[in-house]
Amino acid sequence: MTMSNAMNDSDSTRKVEPGIKLTPEQQRARRSRSIAIGVALGLLAILFYIVTLVKGPGVAERPF
């Protein structure tokens, strides 16, 4: 018996359980959270970019 046969045999005897099913309300809540996180990350990236522009090229030339 090869390794691939052993893996296939164990897969066929395993009981497949259904995954968690979210209600439509939970799916909407998940989507809203994902959008909020994405917007927050986008705004943070924009804020970092603006701060970099305001500080200018002198940031790299300061003494350590």
Q: Determine the structural domain holding residue 36 and report its residue range.
A: 23-56
Q: Where are the alpha helices (DSSP H) in the chain?
A: 3-13, 24-55
pLDDT in tens, 31-52: 999 999 999 999 999 999 998 8
1's CB contacts (< 8 A; 6+ apart) are 9
| Residue 2 forms part of a structural domain | no
Q: What is the pTM of this model?
A: 0.58
Q: Determine the pLDDT at residue 55.
A: 82
Share of the chain above pLDDT 90, in %: 47
| Residue 13 forms part of a structural domain | no
| Residue 42 forms part of a structural domain | yes
Q: Which residue did the predictor score with more confidence, 29 or 62?
A: 29
| Residue 46 forms part of a structural domain | yes
Are 4 and 12 within 8 A, CB to CB? no
| Residue 7 forms part of a structural domain | no
Hey, what are 57's tokens? 């090229």
| Residue 61 forms part of a structural domain | no
- How many domains in the chain? 1
| Residue 62 forms part of a structural domain | no
